[in-house]
Amino acid sequence: MSESVLYHNPRCSKSRSALALLQARGVEPRIVPYLEQPPDAAALQALLRQLDLRPRALLRTGEAEYVELGLADPALDEDAIIAAMAAHPRLIERPIFVHGDRAVIGRPPERVLELLG
């Protein structure tokens, strides 16, 4: 069976819901508490490939750091955005479920089930 990983924030209702949906289907993913153990730039690049997303699509634009760091600036390159997420993990959209070589953002939480097919 493929390894399953959930980048999880236990304070987030969407993240808790995604975990509950997985567990109800017998999936016990390895939990990565990404706020305490933030992924580095290389890990974020790998996640982005699995998600098939550009870095901007993984940003939480409602966080104070988004404004403070000027991340709305369209001139910022992708490496700068990835570096900001690595340094400020609250900027990373959540939850992210990885199953095998694919990943989804669990918004809505039911999206995590797409990878279990």
* pLDDT per residue as tens digits for the range 4-49: 999 999 999 999 999 999 999 999 999 999 999 999 999 999 999 9
**pTM score of the predicted model:** 0.94
Domain ranges of the chain: 1-34+95-117, 41-93
Q: Is 12 a catalytic residue?
A: yes
Helix (H) or strand (E) run with residue 84 in it? helix 78-87
Give residues with Cβ within 8 angstroms of 46, minimum separation 6: none
d(CA 76, CA 44): 17
Are 66 and 60 in contact by the 8 Å Cβ rule? The answer is: yes
Q: What is the DSSP letter of 78?
A: H
Give residues with Cβ within 8 angstroms of 20, minimum separation 6: none
Mapped onto helix, strand or coil, the DSSP state of residue 17 is helix
Identify the CATH class of 41-93. Answer: alpha beta
**Set 1, 8, 12, 47: catalytic member:** 12
